Structure 1
Amino acid sequence: MKEIVTVQVGGFANFVGSHFWNFQDELLGLAEDPYADSVFKKQHLDMDVLYRTGETQQGILTYTPRLVSIGFQGSLGSISSHGTLYNHEPTTTSDVTTWTAGVSTHMAERHKKNLFLRSLYEEQDKTTTVDDRTVDRSGPQREYQDKDIVESLEKGVKFWTDFSKVDYHPQSLYELSGLWMDDWEFDNYGIGRDALAHGLREEEISERLRFFVEECDRVQGFQFMVDDSGGFSAVAAELLENIADEYSNTPVLLYALRAPESYVNLGKRKQTILRSLHDAVSFSRLSSYCNLVVPVGLPSLSTSQVSSFFCIEDEKPYHCSAIYAAALHSISLPFRMGSLAPTTDLHYVSGAVDVNDVVQILSGQSRRNKVAILDMAMPAPSLTGNEAGEKLLDYLHPVTPEIAEDVEDLQAVETMTIHGVLGPGGHQASAFEVKDTIHRAYEHATTRPKFCHLSMAHTPLPIPLPFPSIFKNIVGQHGELLENPAAGPSLKGSLDIHSIPMAVRLRSSSAILPYLENRLGYLRRYGVDRGAPGAELVRSWGFEKDELEDFGEALSKMVIELKPHREVSSDSD
């Protein structure tokens, strides 16, 4: 088995991660549910890639994500940092024996569990064994109705744990304690770097990571979800540097995540310089320790083409993170699926890949490019009609910001994952149908990649109860697009939608050039050039001018690598 260790760093990254693990938990539950759709019975997914087995002190078997999550102290809401599987009572008295004067204890009131979390505890007691028979006691006597739970989540999500249906290992949840500031103040690389400079925080986090890595048989890679809009990018970079030293041969796939609220422009030049330098330094540091970086997060998800079938509230991380988590779930499917039928076409292959395979496909071809663009279609259209493939490609829209559109790149390569799509007649499309449809679509496309790896699975994206109510009425129960939707709620959620067919694509393309050029420009204009207005600021973050120049040189190489090669003609004898 080739395991993946997941690391979530920062507020929005943990929101995305919470939805991501809800999808995994839902798949596990549906696989064991005798009344679930048969498509979830034969998933051909090895969940041990993402999960670990364990045992409590009471001998109870556990199955928890192989995860380290890092956030502010207090960001876990009503959930203990020790998780829910082990009993742990916090110390309330002083352990300092040399102090002889009086001691006063000030304890903040614990956050109360919301309706959803209370319902999870109720679920544990919903069945009773009587005379060797399992009696279900959850019917009409159930205290909390699903409708009430869904409504309460739409109105009241504050923490990422408020909608998490997963049990976490005691080593998984780490809070950065002792940072006496609000989230909005933790807004730049320098602050994040200072946060790890004091105490044993960096070593404590690294020790938790080692716990999960060292129990693995064969680690295939690290999956990082990082909120890189503020100080947590520095926390991630320091951890990545340690990983590069200890696990130098293990690939790292990093998703640089941003919520729409992080793009709010305060209109002050000083703030513009700070944010621009942060973006340049953050990307330079993170990319230097990763094999592949995927920027994810549009300035406005609600007005993007991705949201054609949604009603998203940009100001709600609960909403936006659900869409991005769906894409990350789909990307990760090939890392834990069995191989599909082979194909003779060398340019279009289908099946399982591991993290290193994806890295090699996207960054190890004719040019070196470690920044990929993420496109997604949610829901993916059914493969019906003569132009089904063209339609599917048209539904794929980027969630990577600052990219160029309609770029013809003869060196572009990509990996695509399609799962749960329907074929002609409403049946689950086969691997061959999907492959042939995509192949034909690219044969007739005006722009097509040099190479495309295609992975396909029958299992659609399951929609768990705490998924937000964001689907428009045109979306059907299984994610199909209805021509004549029946009258009903204007927005649908988990009570109306059971599953969604998905298509996602990672591509290495020169369309990422604006993203790279912007960061190179920020670095030079505000940090390196003579009289740069941010030179003193970035020096206060601990970077000297020669380090910034090294960052600039690395960014320049990335840009040059992706610049279209000039045509050179010569006469031959």
Structure 2
Amino acid sequence: MREIVTLQVGCFSNFIGSHFWNFQDELLGLAEEVDGDPVFKSPSLNLDTIYRYGETRQGYPTYTPRLVSIGFQGSLGSLSSADLSSYDIPSSRPSEIVTWTGEVSKVVAQPHKKNLFLQRLCEEGTSSYASGKGESSVMEDKQVTENLENSVHYWTDFSKAHYHHRSLHELHASWGTVQQFNNYGAGKQLLTSNTPEADDIIDRLRFFVEECDHMQGIQCVADDSGGFSGVAADLLEHIADEYPNNPVLLFSARNTERKPVTRAELVKRSLHDAVSFSMLSGLSSLTVPIGLPSLSSSKAAAFLGVDDAKPFHTSAVYAASIHSIGLPLRMEPPGPASNSCDVIGAIDLGQLVQMLSGQSWRNKVIILDGALPAPGLEGPLLSNLHPLTPETAAGIDDPRAVESLVIQGALISGRRPNLHEVESLIQKEYESYGSARFSHLALALCPLPVPLPFPSFFNEASSIPMAARLRSTAAILPFLRRRCDDLRRLGFAGSGAGILAEWGIARGEAEELAEAMATMTAELDPHPELSSESD
């Protein structure tokens, strides 16, 4: 077994993660349906890679994500640590030992009201739900979906996965300080000044890592805006020290944000972007920035009806692409007993890192493209993949480009082709580019399942074809240059130097960050002399 441990750090990252685990939970349910579509029953896709088996003291089996999730205190909504305390851990009776004889006052917060989806989940676990199916008391899927559009305030409002009690951690010290927890320095200082909190998070991570037999690496989805980027940097630094031989795939996530109004806000935002990216990318094997300024107006979401003001919407698009691009890591490797009719292109995380960053250059900042849903293969596919990474250059013909393309559930004129037919069509499309390009292709017959708690992008479709791609290419240069230039221009004089000092970043450390980004940019720049003249 080649396990992957997942980290989710921050509010938006947990929204993405909630959708991601819903996809996995849906796949598990579809695989167990007696009369279900056999395409969902393939043994070649192994969720044991990202899930773990457990057992309660009462002997009940459990199957939960190998996950550590970090968010604000109170960000679990109607879910609480108490809800997980009876799941996958021994039960115990309340202690009868009394250590206080004085008066006791009890303050109970008003619980968050469950929306229709969560109410339905609770009903499904009762015998009365099963006996009452078809009656007026049963909520229709459409009613639940419509309610979700306006009732999602927390990522748990649309989560249907079960979690291990060690998975979910709330940052207690950040309670009530959301507005102040808005920069890289706040996150770094929070863990640095709160050793018990840091120790608790590290112990949770160590629990999942140490039970792995042969861990292939760590997948991390971390907020790139606000203090959670600092929290993520602390965690990744610990991982680099304690598990130096395990690759880290980082999705640096950002939701749609309000544009800075004042000059001071612009300076702080620009410095945060530069520092956060430089720190996080320096601690990961591959960094994939995701989060367009306006997803709704992008080509990637042209047919989806995305509402940028709803994280429930935007996170769904990014989660779908992360799910698809990670399929090769969950495929069973080819062998005498493998079924190549269901999947093609199994690789592990180390191989993916080596392929995308270990070629003629040392680039490790990768572009994520998606096609949601993927078009039918009777027409072109590659031109219908659009970036979910911000600030990328279009129309770049880069002969050094390396990419990993994943297609699941492909259709040709409405029919489901075999994988070798799909492989042949895609290879011909690559050849039509006429430029030298190394690519890895992974295919799965299984389409992307559309679970009930998902935005109504696809009407009543239960599954869709999906394609996603990771690209190592010079098209990422605009993203890199802006952060490099902002740090050099703003970070060493005036208010910018003071901001970095407040975040605990000394001038020498800022110079090292700027130099590292300049080196990263130079690796990719085909015309460095022109860039230096423009600078």
Q: TM-score, normalised by structure 2?
A: 0.92
1:110 counterpart = 2:111: yes
> Any conservation in 2 of the 1:526–1:534 contact (CA below 8 Å)?
yes
SS of the residue corresponding to residue 500 of structure 2 reads helix
Instruction: Summarize the alignment of residues 523-562 of structure 1 with structure 2, pairs less than 5 Å apart.
Output: 523-528=487-492, 531-562=493-524
Partner of 1:247: 243
Residue 421 of structure 1 contacts residue 458 of structure 1 at CA under 8 Å; is this kept in 2? yes
2:128 counterpart of 1:164: no
Residue of structure 2 in register with 1:331 after alignment: 325
The Cα of 1:556 is off from its aligned counterpart by 0.7
2:349 to 352, 355, 365: 355
1:477 is matched with: none
Shift of 1:431: 2.2
**Which position in structure 2 is the counterpart of 1:488?**
none
Tell me by how many angstroms 1:444 deviates: 1.5
Contact preservation (8 Å) 1:258, 1:297: yes
In the TM superposition, 1:90-129 aligns within 5 A as 102-126=103-127
* Partner residue in 1 for 2:178: 183
Q: Deviations over 1:250-296 (max 9, x none)?
A: 00000001111x2x113111111111111111111111110000000
Structure 1: segments with no counterpart, 5+ residues: 129-134, 343-348, 472-491, 568-573
Picking from 184, 188, 194, the partner of 1:198 is: 194
The reply to whether residue 365 of structure 1 matches residue 354 of structure 2 is no
Matched residue type, 2:210: E
Amino-acid identity (%): 52
Alpha-carbon distance, 1:166 to partner: 0.5
In structure 1, the partner of 2:300 is 306
- Whole-Å separation in 2 of the counterparts to 1:566 and 1:164: 48
The verdict on how the C-alpha distance between 1:52 and 1:454 changes in structure 2, with shifts beyond 3 A counting, is same
Which of the numbers 144, 147, 171 marks the counterpart of 1:152?
147
Q: Which residue of 1 aligns with 2:45?
A: 45
- The number of equivalent residue pairs is 519
Give the one of 431, 434, 439 matched to 1:443: 431
Question: What is the CA-CA distance between 1:96 and the residue it aligns to?
Answer: 11
Equivalent in the alignment of 1:457: 444
Query: What displacement does 1:441 show?
Result: 1.1
- 5+ residue gaps, structure 2: 337-342, 530-535
Question: 1:90/1:549 Cα in 2 relative to 1: closer, same or farther (>3 Å)?
Answer: farther
Q: Distance in 2 between matches of 1:110 and 1:125?
A: 22
Q: Answer yes or no: is 1:411 the counterpart of 2:386.
A: no
Give the CA deviation at 1:182: 4.3
Q: Is the 8 A contact 2:410 2:466 kept in 1?
A: yes
Supply the AA of the counterpart residue of 1:560: A
Which whole-Å CA distance do the structure 1 matches of 2:268 and 2:93 have between them?
40
Which residue of 1 is the match for residue 74 of structure 2?
74
Q: CA deviation at 1:533?
A: 2.7
Are 2:65 and 2:164, in contact at CA under 8 Å, matched by a contact in 1? yes
Q: Tell me, what secondary structure is at the counterpart of 1:26?
A: helix
Structure 1 residue aligned with 2:476: 512
For 1:459-511, what per-residue CA distance to the aligned partner results, in whole angstroms no more than 9, with x for missing partners? 0000000111123xxxxxxxxxxxxxxxxxxxx2xxx1110101111000001
- Matched residue SS, 2:20: helix
Cα gap change, 1:106 to 1:137, in 2 (>3 Å):
closer
User: What is residue 463 of structure 2 aligned with on the other side?
Assistant: 499
CA RMSD of aligned residues (A): 2.5
2: CA distance, partners of 1:180 / 1:31: 40
The 1-side partners of 2:502 and 2:26 are apart by 46
Q: 1:189 to 1:566 in 2, by over 3 A?
A: closer
Q: Are 2:174 and 2:181, in contact at CA under 8 Å, matched by a contact in 1?
A: no
User: Hey, what's the Cα distance between the residues in 1 that align with 2:464 and 2:365?
Assistant: 28
Work out whether 1:223 is the aligned partner of 2:219.
Answer: yes
The code of the aligned residue for 1:187 comes to N
Compute the displacement of 1:229 (Å). Answer: 0.7
Measure how far apart 1:339 and its partner are. 4.4
The structure-2 alpha-carbon separation of the partners of 1:123 and 1:84, relative to structure 1 and needing over 3 Å to count, comes to farther
Once the two structures are superposed, residues 524-550 of structure 1 have per-residue CA deviations (whole angstroms, 9 ceiling, x without a partner) of: 11112xx34310111111111010010
Once the two structures are superposed, what CA deviation does each residue of 1:45-71 show, in whole Å capped at 9, x if it has no partner? 111001001011221100000000000
Rounded Cα–Cα distance in structure 2 between residues aligned with 1:144 and 1:57: 35
Question: Does residue 1:267 correspond to 2:261, yes or no?
Answer: yes
C-alpha change, 1:82 and 1:243, in structure 2 (3 Å) is farther
What is the SS of the residue equivalent to 2:173?
coil
Residue 140 (str. 1) matches residue 135 (str. 2): yes
Change (3 A) 1:466 1:161: same
Q: What is the DSSP-based 3-state SS (H/G/I as helix, E as strand, rest coil) of the residue aligned with 1:453?
A: strand
1:147 Cα shift? 2.3
349-358 vs 152-161, which moves further: 349-358
Alpha-carbon distance between aligned partners in 2 of 1:189 and 1:440, rounded to the nearest angstrom = 46
Q: 1:462 to 1:356 in 2, by over 3 A?
A: same
Structure 1 counterpart SS, 2:199: helix
In structure 2, C-alpha distance between the alignment counterparts of 1:321 and 1:21, rounded to whole Å: 12
Q: 2:288 aligns with which of 270, 287, 294?
A: 294
The 8 Å contact of residues 81 and 175 in structure 1, kept in 2 or not, is answered as: no
Give the distance between the partners of 2:427 and 2:81, measured in 1 at CA. Answer: 48
1:126–1:138 CA contact under 8 A, matched in 2: no
**2:410 equivalent in structure 1:** 421
CA pair 449-19 structure 1, distance change in 2 beyond 3 A: farther
* 1:228 Cα offset (Å): 1.1
